[in-house]
């Protein structure tokens, strides 16, 4: 796979661990959609346990009708993924259009868009349930 940097238009990097497994991005966790299911690298890959990632795995994905799981992902697996997204507290769920020439489906009718909407709804409900946080 060719590697692209900022000069070539890359917005983020995808990192590998010493075993050659995908781990995470520089400032976000990464997730994929394959056959309608949400897949993200496991904690055992050496990733940081992001809050957004955990919330999606712990129920937000299921509330959107999407099964979520952790699985080892190798660079060669990227070709079989239909969608990709990054997730973080500051970005929530953001679709990824391409990684090193592998294009992913993006748009309003994707599974990633459903996850983004479900995350926004969960955040809205949480804010309504915790008005004391509005002072922040």
What would the two tokens of residue 120 be?
A: 């926004």
* CATH T-level topology, domain 10-135: D-amino Acid Aminotransferase; Chain A, domain 2 (3.20.10)
pLDDT-derived band at 132, boundaries 50, 70, 90: confident
Q: Residue 120 CB: number of other CB atoms within 10 A?
A: 13
Q: Read out DSSP for 52-113?
A: HHHHIIIIIHHHTT--EEE----GGGGGG-SEEEEEETTTEEEEE-EETTEE---STTSHHH
Per the prediction, the chain carries an average pLDDT of 92
* Residue ranges of domains in the chain: 10-135
Q: Is the pLDDT reported for residue 1 higher than 50? A: no
SS3 17: coil
Q: How far apart are CA 56 and CA 91, in angstroms?
A: 14
Say what the pTM is. 0.89
Mean pLDDT calculated for residue range 1-17: 71
Q: How far apart are CA 99 and CA 74, in angstroms?
A: 13
Secondary structure percentages of the chain, helix, strand, coil, to 5: 35, 25, 40
Q: How far apart are CA 52 and CA 57, in angstroms?
A: 9
pLDDT digits (tens, 9 = 90+) for 53-70: 999 999 999 999 999 999
């Amino acid at each position: 796979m060719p590697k692209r940097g900022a000069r070539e238009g890359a917005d983020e990097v995808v990192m590998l661990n010493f075993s050659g497994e995908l781990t995470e991005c520089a400032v976000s966790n990464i997730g994929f959609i394959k056959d309608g299911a949400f897949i993200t690298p496991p904690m055992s890959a050496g990733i940081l346990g992001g809050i957004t990632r955990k919330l999606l795995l712990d129920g937000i994905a299921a509330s959107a009708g999407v099964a979520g799981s952790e699985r080892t992902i190798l660079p060669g697996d990227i070709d079989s993924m239909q969608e990709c997204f990054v997730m973080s507290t500051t970005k929530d769920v953001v679709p990824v259009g391409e990684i090193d020439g592998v294009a992913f489906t993006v748009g309003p009718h994707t599974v990633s868009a459903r996850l983004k909407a479900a995350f926004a709804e969960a955040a809205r409900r949480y804010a309504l349930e915790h008005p004391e946080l509005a002072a922040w």
